[in-house]
Amino acid sequence: MNAPRAIALCQCFNGALEFQAGNWEQAEKALHQSIELYRSIGAASGEALACQRLGVLQTAQGQLEGGWVTLEEGAVVAERAVMRAHCLTRIYAAMARNRLEADDVKAADQALAAGLAMSDRHGHCATCNALLLPVAVSVCLAQENVAAAETFCHQLEEAAQEYGSRTWLALAERAKAEVAAAHEDMTAAIAYYRDAHKKFGAANYAYEAARCLSRMADLYRWRSHKGDQAKAEAARSEAQQIFRQLGAI
C-alpha cells in the first residue's frame, strides 16, 4: 500500500516490542526506520516518540552519550509536535534515566523536574506516568530524599494496581525495593526485587528482570546472612549472562 505513516507506526511499536523481548539489533533497525519515515512525512509526534524509544534502547546498551543525543533530538522535534506535552514528558523521563546511568544526578534531577512539570500540564497521562514515576523514585533516592521517593512510589503503586499491567506491577515492586533498600531493610528489598524479577520475567522483559537480579546480588552481599554469598554469586552470574546476550555489557 506504500503508506509511510502506517509503516512508521508499525516499526515504532515493533522496535518497542523487540526491545522488551531482548532482540535489540532488530529493535534498533526498526526504530531507525520509524524515525526516518516519520521525518520524511513531517510527523513530529511519531518521530519524537520513536526517538524516545531509541534513546531508551541506547541507554540500556550503555551508549549513554549517544542515547542522550538521540533524546535531545527527540526533544527538539517534540516542540513542534501535536502531542507536544506527552512526547516531552516521555523524553524527559528517558533523559533522567540516562543521566542517572551516567552518574549525573544534577542533570537527572533537572530532566525529572521538566518531566513532572510537563506531566502536570497535560493531566497526568497514565502511560507517561509509567515512565516518569519509576525514575522519579530513583532520582529522589540518589539525592537521599527518601520521603519524596516514598510519595512517588505510592503513586506508582496506586497506578499499577488500577491499570493491572504485569509490567506496571513489576515497576511498582522494584520501586518498593529501592525504597526498602534506602531504609536498609535488606530482607524486604530482596523480597520486592524477587517479586519484580518474576513479574518482569512473566512479561518477557529480560533486561529489567536482569537488572533486578543484579541489584539482588548487591543486597545479598550487603545483608551477609548464611548462604547469602552463594545467592549473590548465582544472581550475579544469571544477570551477567542475560546482559551479555542482550549486548548490554
Domain boundaries defined on the chain: 161-249
In this model, does residue 45 exceed pLDDT 90? Answer: yes
pLDDT band at 124 (very low <50, low <70, confident <90, very high): low
Average pLDDT over residues 207-233: 96
User: Quick check: 31 and 15 in contact, CB under 8 A?
Assistant: yes
Among residues 48, 66, 44, which one has the least CA distance to residue 57?
A: 66
Rounded-to-integer distance, Cα 136 and Cα 243, Å = 24
Domain at 161-249: CATH code:
1.25.40
Average pLDDT over residues 141-148: 97
pLDDT band at 123 (very low <50, low <70, confident <90, very high): low
Average pLDDT over residues 8-12: 96
The pTM score is 0.93
Tell me what pLDDT residue 67 has: 98
Q: What is the dihedral of CA 77, 83, 87, 89, to 10 degrees?
A: 130
Q: What does the DSSP 8-state code read for residue 103?
A: T
